[in-house]
Amino acid sequence: MLERIAAHAPVYDPQGLVERLIRLLDKVIYGKTELIRTLLTAVVAGGHVLLEDVPGVGKTRLIKALASVLDCEFRRIQGTPDLLPSDVTGVSVYRPDRGDFEFRPGPLHAHVVLADELNRTPPRTQAALLEAMEERRVTVDGTTYKLPEPFMVLATQNPYGWEGTYALPEAMLDRFLIKLAIGYPEAHHEVAMLEQRQDGTENDVLAKLRPVVTREELIRIQRAAAMVHVDEAIRRYIVDLTSATRNHRSIRIGASPRASFALLHIARASAWLDGRGYVIPDDVKAYMPMVLEHRLAWNAHERLDAAARASVLHDILARTPVPYAGRRMAE
């Protein structure tokens, strides 16, 4: 049984919590249990998530549902070529009756922010998002405003090469903890989705969702996960994996130390959700491809071939010696 999350906090059963959340979210998007678990792990790690997929597979619906079950305020930003930084950060409006300016917060001032079709937005707006993601604050007219806690950006992008899309800069990609793809549903799940739409119960499912944890509890969970023990051998394993990307023939520019930190954070969250107070190699191996793939500058062939990128990362995993996560780590 896991220790108390914090002083005066209730004792949580992480696995029971995950199962309950998955049951609820599985009613919103069918047949994506592993995806939901991965998304929850990113939430516990306190990271941002990039979802790359074709339109219409349920990205927006899933993120709305996630905000509901986590008791978080949800706001959406629709990426367009004319989107201004003030459209997302907020704007200072002059009040003639008072003779001063009043700040009106933009959609970034929420707990869960969906940046839809991020790769359609201009560079200046991406820069404003970058500050929010990295610093958890925004600057408007020289004044800095702190963003609420918890704060998480879940961005979607259409596959590169689609009309009106632009490759996100490396600095932006590096701020996303993981990159995921939802994928098409299985045929029987799609049939069930059609039935739900025909019966008119599609929106009812979202409307009936209720929080499973409060925002304050989620913050305590995130802090508890950040305290999970990581043995020196595991830290070395993480560095060995990221270092291997810096000397691979298929990769022009390898992973930075920020990638090592990201892998450490999500491995801790994975361990916490499994009810462990320590990280094992499997926590690292499971999330390594999701953490590293979007951070690397690939050679021409791999950049255009997702299967080739996956093969390279699995080759690195296979070639990197795995440390022994023995009983001593659990003590």
**Helix (H), strand (E) at residue 190:** helix 187-199
Q: What is the pLDDT of residues 68-115, one digit of tens each?
A: 999 999 999 999 999 999 999 999 888 888 878 888 999 999 999 999
User: Which pLDDT score, from 0 to 100, does residue 184 have?
Assistant: 84
pTM for the predicted model, two decimal places: 0.88
208 pLDDT exceeds 90?
Answer: no
Instruction: Please check whether residue 83 lies inside any domain of the structure.
Output: yes
- Give the end of a domain, one of 162, 193, 224: 224
Q: Phi and psi (nearest 5°) for 137? A: -160, 165
User: Which pLDDT score, from 0 to 100, does residue 163 have?
Assistant: 58
Supply 177's token pair: 């903890």
- Give the end of a domain, one of 199, 224, 249: 224
User: Which pLDDT score, from 0 to 100, does residue 10 have?
Assistant: 38
Instruction: Please check whether residue 104 lies inside any domain of the structure.
Output: yes
Of 166-170, 197-201, 208-212, 321-325, which gets the smallest average pLDDT? 197-201
User: Which pLDDT score, from 0 to 100, does residue 147 have?
Assistant: 96
CATH number at 214 reads 3.40.50.300
Average pLDDT of 266-277?
95
User: Which pLDDT score, from 0 to 100, does residue 4 have?
Assistant: 39
Instruction: Please check whether residue 331 lies inside any domain of the structure.
Output: no
Cβ contacts of residue 88 below 8 Å, gap of 6+? 77, 106, 107, 108, 125, 128, 129, 132
202 and 299 fall within a common domain: no
- Give the end of a domain, one of 198, 224, 250: 224
Rg over CA atoms, the chain: 21
Confidence of residue 59 (pLDDT cuts 50, 70, 90): confident
User: Which pLDDT score, from 0 to 100, does residue 275 have?
Assistant: 92
- Helix-strand-coil split of the chain, %, nearest 5: 50, 15, 35
2 pLDDT exceeds 60?
Answer: no
255 pLDDT exceeds 90?
Answer: yes
Q: What mean pLDDT is reported for the chain?
A: 87
200 pLDDT exceeds 70?
Answer: no
Q: What is the pLDDT of residues 15-30, one digit of tens each?
A: 888 899 999 998 888 8
CATH number at 312 reads 1.10.8.80
* Distances in whole angstroms, Cα of residue 301 to Cα of each of 250, 298, 304, 306: 8, 8, 6, 10
d(CA 287, CA 268): 11
Range of the domain at 139: 1-224
d(CA 17, CA 264): 22
Q: What is the pLDDT of residues 149-183, one digit of tens each?
A: 999 999 988 765 555 566 788 889 999 999 998 88
Sign of the CA dihedral with 112 first, then 117, 121, and 123 last = positive
113 and 71 fall within a common domain: yes
236 and 199 fall within a common domain: no
- Our CA angle for 189, 192, 198, nearest 5°, is 145
Q: Tally the domains of the chain.
A: 2
162 and 30 fall within a common domain: yes
Instruction: Please check whether residue 329 lies inside any domain of the structure.
Output: no
User: Which pLDDT score, from 0 to 100, does residue 314 have?
Assistant: 96
Average pLDDT of 259-267?
97
Percent of the chain with pLDDT over 90: 60
119 and 205 fall within a common domain: yes
Of 3-7, 57-61, 222-226, 295-299, which gets the smallest average pLDDT? 3-7
| Phi-psi domain of 201 (left: phi exceeds 0; alpha: psi -120 through 50; beta: other) | alpha
207 and 60 fall within a common domain: yes
11 pLDDT exceeds 60?
Answer: no
User: Which pLDDT score, from 0 to 100, does residue 315 have?
Assistant: 95
Q: In this structure, how many other beta carbons lie within 10 angstroms of the beta carbon of residue 282? A: 14
CB distance 250 to 226 below 8 Å: no
Confidence of residue 199 (pLDDT cuts 50, 70, 90): confident
**Helix (H), strand (E) at residue 92:** strand 90-95
76 and 50 fall within a common domain: yes
Of 35-49, 52-66, 186-200, 244-258, which gets the smallest average pLDDT? 186-200
